[in-house]
């Protein structure tokens, strides 16, 4: 018998917050291109599209009279934070390239010709002296904080089912738009999926699907309903739906005004979309815009690496791992693991196995996961579609399974 429901959401790359995330991570990619492990980025972005009935005097005071009209018509991108690199950065080109790639045009009230404002400085020397200590392996944590990783055997990706289905839905919206299958789709969009579980915490079926699809003004509601249902929802959800599954498509009626014109966007405001859809805790900070010295990002990747290998090694059906660090220090303050009654070892013994098998010093797992250097991931690609449960990222590899099993035998 079903006992409870759980819901997760996802958003397209054209969602305003994800526009900001992608611009932030595009800066990380550019900053790290100088090939040194001492390059630093902590970049936040704010985006706002066209403004209806603008106060032009206020805009002129804020952005200058020569920029006020552009802000009112096409919006603004504001970049703030810290950056340290030997490369010269063309801020405008980076921003405009991201916006162009996402697909926004002037008719959306936001495009690559928007106004761009920059307020960046170098990293504080008080932080730098605790982080930059010669070689990468000597590097301390770039900030204090606690980070979480999670894995579950609900899906082949060892991720919670609701967030994976939500990601598939927005991926379907993206594909239908970019491939011209539904030529009236615009870049913004959201999904939400509710999954019913049994008393053993196993997923049974999808009870509700919500999709909000940004669209051109000329398309009818009937065409939107049919197109999204047939081209997006059915391929993504498939036989996990039942005859009584509730499907809501643009439940307010219309979604003509979207993207940064419909709502402002800010880096780091979709952290649950980025991780496990709310099925596991999130640490103290967002990921996008930060170089790997910031353990908010790199240790969250390391914790996922640990948790995924634990589940793949059949040491637990689900695993939650917490790592905690103090700024400037190498060794973790805390290594915590919870297996929710599904583990073959006690949490204390499994924690010791983790310490034995995985490098938990920031510089060491940055090196092990290739988070910097020429083989590092393209961080902008992490900024939409979730940071976990996707092929091609080093923290998703299952390279510690045999070693975990071997160490676990000592305690079994």
Instruction: List the domains of the chain with CATH numbers.
Output: 2-10+160-258 (3.30.300.10), 16-124 (3.30.300.10), 145-153+268-281+292-408 (3.30.300.10)
Q: How far apart are CA 236 and CA 378, in angstroms?
A: 26
Q: For 62, what's the count of Cα atoms within 13 Å in the CB-facing half-sphere?
A: 17
b/e per residue 149-184 (b: at least 16 CB within 10 A): bbbbbbbebbbbbbbbbbbbbbbbbbebbeeeebeb
Average pLDDT estimate for 159-183: 98
pLDDT score recorded for residue 75: 96
pLDDT average, residue stretch 306-311: 98
Question: Is-contact 217 233, C-beta < 8 A?
Answer: no
Please determine, for residue 128, whether its predicted confidence score (pLDDT) is greater than 60. Answer: no
Q: 34 Cβ partners below 8 Å, 6+ apart?
A: 85, 86, 87
Q: Greater confidence, 313 or 122?
A: 313
What values do phi and psi take at 293, rounded to 5? -65, -20
If you average pLDDT over residues 172-201, what whole number do you get? 97
CA atoms within 13 A on the CB side of 276: 28
Q: How confident is the model at residue 84 (pLDDT cuts 50, 70, 90)?
A: confident
Query: For the chain, what is the mean pLDDT?
Result: 93
pLDDT at 284 over 90: no
Confidence label for 315 from pLDDT (cuts 50, 70 and 90): very high
Tell me the pLDDT band of 236, cut-offs 50, 70 and 90.
Answer: very high
Q: Are 21 and 44 in contact (CB under 8 A)?
A: no
CB 295 within 8 A of CB 143: yes
Looking at residue 87, its pLDDT comes to: 76
Which pLDDT belongs to residue 131? 62
* Banded model confidence at residue 123, pLDDT cuts 50, 70, 90: low
The confidence band for 33, taking pLDDT boundaries of 50, 70 and 90, is confident
Name the H helices within 313-388. 347-357, 362-368, 379-382
- pLDDT of 188 over the 90 cut: yes
Section 92-106 average pLDDT: 96
Dig out the tokens for 57 from the structure. 């005097």
Tell me the per-residue pLDDT of 338-384, one tens digit each, with 9 for 90 and over.
999 999 999 999 999 999 999 999 999 999 999 998 889 999 999 99
Structure token digits, residue 339: 């297996």
At 411 the pLDDT is 80
Q: How far apart are CA 267 and CA 142, in angstroms?
A: 19
For the chain, percent of residues with pLDDT exceeding 70: 95
Mean pLDDT across the stretch 101-114? 96
Banded pLDDT at 392 (limits 50, 70, 90): very high
Residue with tokens 């049974």: 204
From 313, 354, 389, 324, select the one nearest 148 (Cα to Cα): 324
Q: Please report the pLDDT score of residue 302 as a whole number.
A: 97
User: What pLDDT digit, counting tens, does each position of 133-158 carry?
Assistant: 566 666 777 778 899 999 999 999 99
Residue 126: C-alpha distances to residues 215, 291, 328, 362 (Å):
48, 17, 10, 18
Q: How far apart are CA 189 and CA 202, in angstroms?
A: 29
pLDDT(126) > 60: no
How confident is the model at residue 125, as a pLDDT? 58
């Amino acid at each position: 018998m079903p006992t409870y429901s759980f819901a997760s959401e996802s958003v397209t790359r054209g969602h305003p917050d994800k526009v900001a995330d992608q611009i932030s991570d595009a800066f990380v990619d550019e900053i790290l291109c100088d090939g040194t492990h001492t390059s630093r980025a902590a970049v936040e972005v704010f985006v706002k599209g066209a403004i209806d009935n603008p106060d032009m005097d206020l805009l002129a005071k804020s952005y200058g009279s020569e920029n006020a009209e552009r802000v009112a018509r096409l919006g603004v991108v504001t970049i703030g934070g810290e950056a340290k690199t030997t490369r010269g950065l063309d801020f405008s080109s980076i921003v405009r390239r991201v916006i162009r790639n996402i697909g926004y045009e002037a008719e959306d009230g936001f495009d690559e010709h928007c106004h761009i404002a920059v307020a960046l400085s170098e990293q504080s020397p008080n932080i730098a002296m605790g982080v930059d200590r010669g070689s990468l392996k000597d590097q301390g944590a770039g900030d204090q904080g606690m980070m979480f990783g999670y894995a579950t055997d609900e899906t082949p990706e060892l991720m919670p089912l609701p967030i994976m289905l939500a990601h598939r839905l927005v991926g379907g919206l993206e594909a239908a738009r970019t491939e011209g299958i539904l030529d009236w789709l615009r870049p913004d969009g959201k999904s939400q999926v509710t999954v019913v579980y049994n008393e053993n915490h196993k997923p049974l079926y999808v009870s509700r699907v919500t999709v909000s699809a940004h669209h051109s003004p000329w398309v009818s509601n009937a065409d939107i309903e049919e197109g999204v249902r047939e081209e997006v929802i059915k391929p993504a959800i498939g036989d996990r739906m039942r005859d009584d599954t509730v499907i809501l498509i643009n439940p307010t009626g219309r979604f003509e005004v979207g993207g940064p014109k419909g709502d402002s966007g800010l880096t780091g405001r979709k952290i649950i979309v980025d991780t496990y859809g709310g099925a596991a805790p999130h640490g103290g900070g967002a990921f996008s815009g930060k170089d790997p010295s910031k353990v908010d990002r790199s240790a969250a990747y390391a914790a996922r690496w640990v948790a995924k290998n634990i589940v793949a090694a059949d040491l637990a059906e689900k695993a939650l791992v917490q790592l905690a660090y103090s700024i400037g220090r190498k060794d973790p303050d805390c290594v915590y693991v919870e297996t929710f009654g599904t583990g073959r070892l006690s949490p204390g013994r499994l924690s010791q196995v983790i310490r034995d098998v995985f490098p938990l010093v920031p510089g060491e797992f940055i090196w092990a996961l290739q988070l910097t250097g020429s083989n590092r991931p393209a961080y902008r690609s992490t900024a939409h579609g979730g940071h976990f449960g996707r092929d091609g990222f080093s923290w998703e590899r299952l390279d510690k399974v045999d070693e975990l099993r071997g160490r676990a035998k000592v305690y079994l």
